[in-house]
Amino acid sequence: MPPGEERVKHLNGGRRPMKESPHRSPLEAFATWIAHVTWWPEITDAETARRAALSGVAAATLCAVTTGAFAVLGLFGVSRFSLLDAGLFTVIAWGIYRMSRAWAIAGLVIYVSERIVGLRIRPGVFSVIAIIFIVLFIGGIRGTFAYHRFRRGQ
């Protein structure tokens, strides 16, 4: 086993190592995240911090895609005005992908705010999916802050 492979095997649960390029497309980053998902990953260096931040990218991307699709199709009473919300979450996903701490925090704050407004409109409608998204956005915050901490230390 080549040196360092043992460490990679430990960090990603024995799966194939992720690509080393920091400039993957958002779709490729999302697919990579799905392949290497962990809910609360251990962050030990800049690369593992980047992988942890991908959870925030995935959460924002899923928010953008589902909100956009529901708005276009008019499902669940979602208006076309929600396309602006989908656009905002697209920008948030891009910002987290670029390792922006501000966008990571904004993603969590906006998502939680929207869930609170949703509870006021439809009391009692809070789902497990909302909790999962909150955990994913928190992972994005953890990853972006750790990434900058490790980059500053190098």
| Domain-wise residue ranges, the chain | 25-37+44-153
- 8 Å CB contact between 99 and 53: yes
State residue 22's pLDDT score: 58
- 8 Å CB contact between 121 and 35: no
Split at pLDDT 50, 70, 90, the class of 23 is low
The percent helix, strand, coil of the chain (3-state, each to 5) is 70, 0, 30
- 8 Å CB contact between 26 and 61: yes
| pLDDT tens string 74-114 | 766 667 778 889 999 999 999 999 999 999 999 999 999 98
First to last CA, the chain: 27
- 8 Å CB contact between 40 and 140: no
State residue 110's pLDDT score: 95
Measured between alpha carbons, how far is 36 from 31 in angstroms, rounded to an integer?
9
Mean pLDDT for the stretch of residues 37-50: 80
pTM equals: 0.71
